[in-house]
Amino acid sequence: MQRVACERGGHEPGRRAGRQGGFDVRWITGPRTRGRRPRDIPVKAVLPWLQMAEDRSWLGMRFAVSLLAFSSLMVVGGCPQPVESTPDAGSDPIQPQLCVDDEECTTGFCRFGVCVDAECINKGDCASTEICSDGACIAPPATCAGPDDCPGDFLCDGFSDTCFNPGEGEGEGEGEGEGEGEGEGAAINVSGFRVENRETSTASVSRLPDGITLQAGQSIIIGRNASESAFRTFWGTLGDGSRYLDAGIESSGVPVINGGEVFAVANSSGSTVDGPTRPGSRDNCYQRTGRDASAEASWAEVLPDVASPGTASAVSGLHGLAITEWCDADGSGNFIYEYIEITNLR
């Protein structure tokens, strides 16, 4: 009766360590310990137990088999052979169907040379007058909730819930400027101006309605989805002479504040007037203290209980139209009172 170990490690196949007790002793690979290379163990270390197994000692046999299994030694049948995984009988791997155009696809659409079920992933895969919805290119809806509801480069106006072309404007409003003193002390017509969240590459936008002019020192507060009376009751203040607009926004647009927003104001032609701001975090309010909107040092981070919509303070070196405060209202269900404040600083 011969016991043959599986040769591993640095020993040559079939290398014999000698003979003992009638057995042909070969090297076996011991267990791996603490990530080091397996330690080679001569079979002779377990020969007494093998001898007991041959003598039909039941206890010895059980222990020998266990020890040999632990040491990766095959007692009978030689070394284990690798088993190749084969697919179930009758099944073939699914191969993609290559194509040049849609007509070559039995079903679905040709995208990037492969037939797929979905016609589009985003609106960029569709015609300039269509949007992508559930993998299909369709006409845009009558009203929009965000830029994905608008075709091409069109954006969704958060106030009117309609799509508009950001490249078409009415020219610059009177006296706007990014902290350059242009329009200092003058009234600013902000009709068609855009308040944007540039947190992502596709901005969320709310366009200010026609007929709004801010006098020097006057602010306009845009609330998320609360009437002016409810807004005043919740915050307990709204600065004298301030204007209030209810954006009527449910889930997307400006101002929706969940943390990470980066706000900016652009004129009706799309040119940036102020911003982008530093990103904020949820359950906090930010009040302007410095000229550079993107710098953290230009904003005081405060808790909502000290928010002051409509009472913007002067900022040294900053004049004209500027974002002066935004706030995330904390508390269950109070998201409708979120707001952003824009002021014509003197």
Domain identity same for 272 and 325: yes
What would the 3-class secondary structure string for 256-304 be? CCCCCCCEEEECCCCCEEECCCCCCCCCCEEEECCCCCCCHHHEEEECH
Distance between CA atoms of residues 213 and 121, nearest Å: 42
Question: If you average pLDDT over every residue of the chain, what do you get?
Answer: 76
Query: Which pLDDT belongs to residue 86?
Result: 56
| C-beta separation of 243 from 214 below 8 A | yes
Query: Which pLDDT belongs to residue 93?
Result: 66
Q: Give per-residue pLDDT as tens, 74-130.
A: 444 445 555 555 555 555 667 788 888 888 888 778 877 888 888 888 888 889 999
Q: Give per-residue pLDDT as tens, 308-345.
A: 999 998 999 999 999 999 999 988 999 999 999 999 99
Domain identity same for 65 and 112: no
Domain identity same for 134 and 162: no
Domain identity same for 294 and 259: yes
**167 within some domain:** yes
User: Domain span at residue 192?
Assistant: 155-345
| C-beta separation of 94 from 111 below 8 A | no
Domain identity same for 15 and 125: no
Domain identity same for 111 and 227: no
Domain identity same for 127 and 247: no
Q: Give per-residue pLDDT as tens, 182-206.
A: 455 789 999 999 999 999 887 888 8
Region 274-289: mean pLDDT is 95
**180 within some domain:** yes
**39 within some domain:** yes
**92 within some domain:** no
165 vs 171, residue with greater confidence: 165
Domain identity same for 260 and 173: yes
Domain identity same for 71 and 109: no
**148 within some domain:** no
Q: Beta strands 219-223 and 243-246: pairing type?
A: parallel
**316 within some domain:** yes
Domain identity same for 298 and 211: yes
Domain identity same for 130 and 166: no
Query: Which pLDDT belongs to residue 253?
Result: 77
- Sequence-distant (6+) residues with CB within 8 A of 92 are none
**162 within some domain:** yes
Residue 214 has pLDDT above 50, yes or no: yes
Number of domains forming the structure of the chain: 3
Domain identity same for 331 and 250: yes
- If you average pLDDT over each of 146-150, 200-204, 279-283, which comes out highest? 279-283
pTM for the structure as a whole:
0.57
